Structure 1
Amino acid sequence: MIRRRPFLSVFLLLLVGLGLLAWVNRVHLASFPGIVGAYSAKEYCSCRYVSGNPADYCVSYVKLYMPLSQLRDDAERKRVTARGLGSTQTAAWLDQRQGCQLQVEADPL
């Protein structure tokens, strides 16, 4: 088969190799969607409340790097909620010295 169809054989070997690589790193791949929302919420919060930039600038800055489906800014409480790849994360501004921090929300039982 390799002599008759060399391109198909190489493609199948690459496909098997990628599948094996994905299986070995399945834990890391499963945690990736949470990283997208957390990074976006933290970056927007820091851009808006620590650096004091306008909201439009911070939205374009964050969306430049990460694919987001939703970004909510609660200006009164200085909290930002970002949703990307099915994961929702929240960051809140603590004070000028500590900056913004990701909020850990308890899972309902």
Structure 2
Amino acid sequence: MSFVKVCPLAEVPADGALAVEIGGTPVAVVRAGDDVFAVNDICSHAEVSLSEGEVYNGTIECWLHGSCFDLRTGKPTNPPATQPVATYRVKVEDGDVYVALGSDD
């Protein structure tokens, strides 16, 4: 698995998200408090950008229909979404955010 530098941490809004693309994959880099997460940026329900939604209580909310996704697991926490979004490994080094799309195995 290889980490890719996606942005400076300072570009990710506090309790918000930033849309980036890694090799053609849309990714939402999300700050929730002191934690940084990365999830697929496309809602599993309506195919709109999650990075444009609100971040609160460890979730990101789709702005179109209100589905929320757990930032740790990608699982929806309320309808109408029923399918999870992919989550990705994140590390922050020297003020920059790195994301790995691959799995651990």
- Give me the TM-score of the superposition, normalised by structure 2: 0.30
Q: Could you say which structure has the higher helix fraction?
A: 1
Between structure 1 and structure 2, the one with the greater Rg is 1
Higher strand share: 2
- With the length of structure 1 as denominator, give the TM-score of the two structures: 0.29
